[in-house]
Amino acid sequence: MTETSTTRSRGTGRRGSRGARQGNPLARLFGRIALFVRQVLDEMRKVVWPTRQELINYTAVVLVFIVLIMLYVVGLDQVFQRAVSWVFGSS
């Protein structure tokens, strides 16, 4: 590695880290919050949002799946209830 690339690699720390250490702690907190909000907004711009029809289809699939699982659990509950009633002789 040449001297210039070594010098460059040492200088690639966090941007403004020297000034951030010397600044007001409250200002650093708000700066970090602002950075977080900017990063969240940047990521939200990258999201591929579903169309209205896709959203309706996905919602329908989820609701049907939930109903099927509920029916399965109710069926198991009935089976276990009858089994316990038969074993212990309850009414």
Residue 90 CB coordination number (10 Å): 8
Question: What tokens appear for 70 in the block?
Answer: 């509920």
Phi and psi dihedrals of 12, rounded to 5? -100, 50
Question: What tokens appear for 47 in the block?
Answer: 């999201």
Question: What's this model's pTM, rounded to 2 decimal places?
Answer: 0.51
Show me where the domains of the chain are located: 1-47, 50-91
Q: For the chain, list residues with pLDDT below 70.
A: 1-22, 90-91
For residue 2, what pLDDT is reported? 54
DSSP string, 28-88: HHHHHHHHHHHHHHHHHHH--PPPHHHHHHHHHHHHHHHHHHHHHHHHHHHHHHHHHHHHH
68-88 pLDDT, tens digit each = 999 999 999 999 999 999 998
Distance CA 87, CA 69 (A): 27
